[in-house]
Amino acid sequence: MAARGPQTAQQRDRTDQRAEFLLGALASAVLVLIAFMIAFVFAKAWPSFAHNGLDWFGAGGNVDEQLTGIFNSPADPSDYVYTLHAWPLIYGTALITGAAVLLGTLVSLLSAMFIVEFAPGWIRAILQPVVRLLAAVPSVIYGLIGIIVLVPFFGNHVIGPARKESVQYVIQLDGSSILVGTLVLTVMITPIMIAITVDALRSVPRNWTEGAAALGVNRFRALRTVGLRAARPAIVAAAILATARALGEAIMLSMVTGSVAFAPNPLDGVTFFFEPTRTLAAQIVEGAEGLSVKPFGQTMYAFAALLLISSAFLSFGGWLARRSMRKYTLAPR
Amino acid sequence: MTWNRPLAVVAAVAASAALAVPAAATAKPTITMSGSTSVAPLAALLAKKYISVCKGCVSFKLLQGGSDVGISDVASGRVTIGNASRDPKPSDPGGLVFNKIAHDAVCIVTNKSNPLPGIDEAGVQAIFGGSVRSWSSVPGSSASGTIDTFTRSPASGTQDAFQKIFLGSTKVFSGSSQKASNGLVQQSVKADPNGIGYVSLSFSDGLHTVPYKGVACTERNAKSGQYGGQRNLYMVTRGPAKGAARAWIKWITKRSAAAAIVNTEWVSLQ
């Protein structure tokens, strides 16, 4: 642009106004887009929900056989098959996401505390960029490492033949399992949680923790009782973000969890951790080949709708949690 | 201003390129294909040869996505040709023509450490149906312990072919591990001494292919029709193929140069 002389106040006002319009229009466009997307997904998904009612969310039968039935529906729209009991997929999603977020929160809190308070300068200088780099690694790379290294390792060396035989007519333990899925997912979501928690701990005013230290507590205790408490809203935000990423993770989980629509049973003891499952997002990826079969596509949209609702509830829950923590100050974002 | 000149040059170049491209595009038809991941490697090899044979008379655009993606794409006119590795189904959109271009063999594969000498229809159904779960009860097996079965998701063309050719009305064992592609099944069986799965012939490298009903899963046996585990590969068009697409499909099915390429890993019709 050509160099200009100093602007008059009026010109500046006009520029501001233009920027306001432009940004406002963009923001509303995003809102409209989201509204359209939700409406579209629900409209597509409706037949699947309508046919099954509440049974859709229940257990019963074999999901893969039900999906095969839907896929092989006759050509006549009035004969479309929709029967589906999606419980194993819902349960598998909740199980893996929940476990990974719990584990990730624990690990990220401890590492963030280390980075902020205890790490020597040179370690911090290495750790921080590495954590940020890890947060940006595409999930398919984790999936490849999982399927080429971890799954065969667990299948051939960790899970013994006796354990495999004990459940062989129900499920096969080939190494792809909720354990590997949870581990890899934790590695995937932890870096972003660490990054957010570190920033939050840093923004806790120094004199607060120093005040605690002056009262005679050690550094760890001061950080735990004052720093972590003040940073709680940000920690919740980090957990929410991580949960959203975990819920949406498809490719990696499809590769390492065995992709069997099976609901692992905690009563199986240790075997439980080696049992496979399949998450909703993984199911959508795997079903993508059959989208042209109308009832099958609608069923996939039903899975997508459920994921959309979950993430909506997730943000709402996060908002509530942060609101109730407002008294711990450090204005929530 | 000093930086305006290069900008003007770039704009001029862009404008002339924009004018030139449509002119070139009208002179040279483009055949777009999408669909079966089993057909895609074959289509890519054939397209490369076809371009050199006909001296660049057409250009190709090849996408994947699975047989049903190809069929729905061609039905809606998004592509010229939809690749499919399954036979026509009653639920397919009307007005489509399935042009058969080759056969493909589906091989039963095991880990190299467990060279199963042979298997018959009942054996395949028992193993993949889940009624036999231990290698010790499979005759000729050198593995011991639980059988790990690797299958494909219900929507895949290979799964469809396997179900029709080998399983019939037997249902796949519900505990078997489902993989999203031929390559993932190959990788899983390669890494698991107790594994068994099924893949297209071209994905059997590094694995033991189990003879089916006494016939080895090789191109030669598939071509002669002796091998039982075969399926058809199609290029689907909306109505009979026209123009460049017609010449291309005709070249694949009639010319020996094309047959030579098909026969590297698939089985030609000729």
Task: Tell me whether residues B146 and A164 touch, CB distance under 8 A.
Answer: yes
* B176 touching chain A per CB within 8 A: yes
Enumerate the β-bridge partners of residue A153. Answer: none
pLDDT tens string B25-70: 456 889 999 888 778 878 988 999 999 998 888 999 887 777 888 8
In a domain, A321, yes or no: yes
Q: Is B202 on the interface with A (CB under 8 A)?
A: no
Chain A contact present for B164, CB below 8 A: no
Residue of B nearest to A67 (CA): B154
Tally of CB atoms within 10 A around A268:
16
Q: Is residue A185 part of a domain?
A: yes
Residue B97 is inside which H or E element, if any? Answer: strand B96-110
DSSP state string for B19-79: HHHHHHHHHS-EEEEEE-TTTHHHHHHHHHHHHHHTTS--EEEE--S-HHHHHHHHHTTSS
Confidence (pLDDT) at A230: 86
Chain-chain contact of A262 with B175 (C-beta, under 8 angstroms):
yes
Positive or negative, the CA dihedral A49, A51, A55, A61 is negative
**Is the minimum CB–CB distance between B77 and chain A shorter than 8 Å?**
no
Mutation test of the interface with chain B: which of A289, A293, A299, A300, choosing the one with the most B Cβ atoms within 10 A? A289
Angstroms from B19 CA to nearest CA on chain A: 28
Question: Minimal Cα distance from B196: which residue of A?
Answer: A174
CB-nearest partner of B178 from A151, A161, A260? A260
Left, alpha or beta for A21 (phi > 0: left; psi -120 to 50: alpha)?
alpha
> What is the domain range of residue A124?
89-290+316-328
Q: Classify each residue of A71-83 as buried b or exposed e, where b means 16 or more C-beta atoms within 10 Å of its C-beta.
A: bbbeeeeeebbbb
Give B232's strand partners.
B103
Tell me which of A292, A298, A300 to substitute to probe the interface with B (most B C-beta atoms closer than 10 Å): A292
- Nearest chain B residue (CA) to A177: B177
Q: Indicate left, alpha or beta for B181 from its phi (over 0: left) and psi (-120 to 50: alpha).
A: beta
The verdict on B148 touching A (C-beta cutoff 8 Å) is yes
Residue reference for tokens 């809203």: A233
Tell which B residues from 209 to 228 touch A, by Cβ distance under 8 Å.
none
d(CA B106, CA B217): 8
Q: Based on the structure, what is the number of domains in chain A?
A: 1
Q: What is the pTM of this model?
A: 0.76
Average pLDDT over residues B151-175: 83
Closest Cα partner for B181 from A263, A67, A143?
A143
Whether residue A234 is contained in a domain is answered as yes
Tell whether A84 is covered by a domain. Answer: no
Report which residue type is found at A77: P
The verdict on a CB contact (< 8 Å) between A173 and B146 is yes
Contacts of A286 in chain B (CB under 8 A): 153, 155, 178, 180
**Which of A72, A148, A174 is opposite residue B192, by nearest beta carbon?**
A174
Q: Tell me, yes or no, if B68 comes closer than 8 A to chain A by beta carbon.
A: yes
Q: Which of the four pLDDT bands, split at 50, 70 and 90, describes residue B225? A: confident
Tens digit of pLDDT for each residue in A251-308? 899 889 988 888 998 888 889 999 999 999 999 988 876 776 788 889 999 999 999 9
Mean pLDDT on B241-268? 87
- With H, G, I as helix, E, B as strand and everything else as coil, classify residue B241: coil
B149, closest residue in chain A (CA to CA): A172
Cβ contacts of B92 on chain A, cutoff 8 Å:
75
What interface predicted TM-score (ipTM) does this complex get?
A: 0.76
Flag whether A7 is in a domain.
no
Average pLDDT of the residues of chain B? 84
- Three-class SS of residue B98? strand
CA distance A283 to chain B (A): 9
All residues of chain B having their beta carbon less than 8 Å from the beta carbon of residue A169 are 130, 133, 175
Higher local confidence (pLDDT), A323 or B24:
A323
Instruction: Please report where in the chains the tokens 């409406």 appear, as a residue.
Output: A39
**DSSP secondary structure letters along B215-261:** B---HHHHHHT--S-EEEEEEEEESS--HHHHHHHHHHHH-HHHHHH
Per-residue pLDDT of chain A (333 residues; tens, 9 = 90+): 455 556 677 777 888 888 889 999 999 999 999 999 999 999 999 999 999 999 999 988 888 889 888 887 766 677 788 999 999 999 999 999 999 999 999 999 999 999 998 889 999 999 989 998 988 888 889 989 999 999 999 998 999 888 888 888 888 898 899 999 999 999 999 999 999 999 999 888 888 888 888 888 888 888 888 888 888 888 998 999 999 999 988 889 988 998 888 899 888 888 999 999 999 999 998 887 677 678 888 999 999 999 999 988 998 988 888 887 776 655 544
Cβ contact A272:A264 at 8 Å: yes
CATH code assigned at A165: 1.10.3720.10
Cβ neighbour number for residue A37 with a 10 Å cutoff: 12
Q: Kindly indicate the confidence band of residue B22, based on its pLDDT and cuts at 50, 70 and 90.
A: very low
Q: Give chain B's count of helices (H) and strands (E).
A: 9, 10
Confidence of residue B183 (pLDDT cuts 50, 70, 90): confident
Who wins on pLDDT, B206 or B20? B206
Q: What are the structure tokens assigned to B142, written together?
A: 């050198």
Given a cut of 60, is residue B6 above it in pLDDT? no
- Whether A306 is covered by a domain: the verdict is no
- Mark yes or no for CB contact A260/B175 under 8 Å: yes
Side chain identity at residue A112, one-letter code: A
**A43 inside domain:** no
- pLDDT at B90 (0 to 100): 85
Of A65, A147, A290, the CB nearest to B187: A147
Asked if residue A301 belongs to a domain, the reply is no
